[in-house]
Structure 1
């Protein structure tokens, strides 16, 4: 990622999170602390009002009067950008397809709080933005998350899952909040799945701080957790291929499982469903719901995870 992108992410992180340490910034951006100090120096040279608070509870903070606002594009401008990202592809001779899609994604995330605007676009065009039901604005959600993290309180979250296409109530112990590639992400322990998850803040419809106290594990390190997720943050989608046997091929063929999917018919009557996902964790449960009728072809990591879960089930039964 370019230095300019990192500098913007530092500014936005300080705007929303308030006092932030060099270690926290380094972990979220995937760089060392020396680089963070150089970034702060560069921003100060550009007259960005970032201050240093020394001491045990010190860190960096930005002047409350300084604020970077979204572009506030019109519906027509937003729709034109999305349409361009669909039309301008490598197949059509456009060599910067990946960069354009990443840029449009960042703009969409900055505009995501304007629900009325997104509804108009969804209603009037098949180039629809993801509608994730942001009933509470970004400032409020981040404020609530920061409060829960500082007080060690669990959160009840109404979350929209793209892969499952529904709203789920999750109880989360919030560990950290990071800004990456134009989006805010909440990282925490999910009591429903029994694992640490990363949730996109724009997909949180509503949230509530609970009275239940939690303690973040001493062996949790943000950098270690993020090491396996940089592909998603860098805009690289993961190809997931699943073979469905002939018994349910019609069901798969007639369904719309993902906005970015392709279905191939095989000679024996089975079909292969290809999907390009940002994150493969939610799709595992969906695949397992088909039992013996579904087989993961790729990626290898997902195939091994399904295999391990089936092994544990075999031992249990």
Structure 2
């Protein structure tokens, strides 16, 4: 079959199977595993997000909205429909409330990008579910509207360090990482750009004042450099990774300046710069005895200490 046909079949397979290993896809398409990796590179160039998930149960999976049924609905259009649904549901003179709500649900299913489910981090680790999704979505529509209209917001935010505070912010956009939603915004109180976890926002009020996003600002680059509990710390990792994780890790992109070197048939040396100490430790521990931390020693010592504490608790 042609390359185009195989790419289309690959997307259909991932859509139906949810997650598949390289070997499974290669067998289904009748091509080599090397060709599958080439296909993945081609899809990435076309902005089709196929994620490589590490681990024994890992593989490739299609991330984001449905490319097979894409209606090319822009985020602004989907949000406008959501806002219209909310307003018209309160109206006493509109007879098609249920039909409009059904249409709104279908649009959200077909085009998940309206919820801006983009992960702009480099560290794709584990994706836990939020324990309270209601908190995350309570103010999302109003925040999304402010992002589009460039309107300032007055919010109350409950941070771990300083408790609940009132802030005036310039909302730039909402992104998702590890199934939690975050707002990237400029905070007038602290005079810097910050990341706010949506579920910690307790109150939102729209202001009449408008703002401009700096022309040089990129949410994608900002999230890569800042999202993480310890985003001010960067680690130059050097790991020895054995089977069964070596294959999956070699197929994915996890760090800046990443380098993969095969030292044996099923063993690799992984090198790269990563930020977010908590995420890094969780990722390393998820590989169990298949990984050895070669560098940095400070991180190796901290992981050992974590393991000792875990044993004491258990």
- The verdict on a shared fold, with TM-score over 0.5 as the criterion, is no
Task: Report the TM-score when normalising by structure 1.
Answer: 0.39
Task: Report the TM-score when normalising by structure 2.
Answer: 0.39
Identify which of structures 1 and 2 has the higher relative contact order when contacts are C-alpha pairs closer than 8 Å and 6+ apart: 2
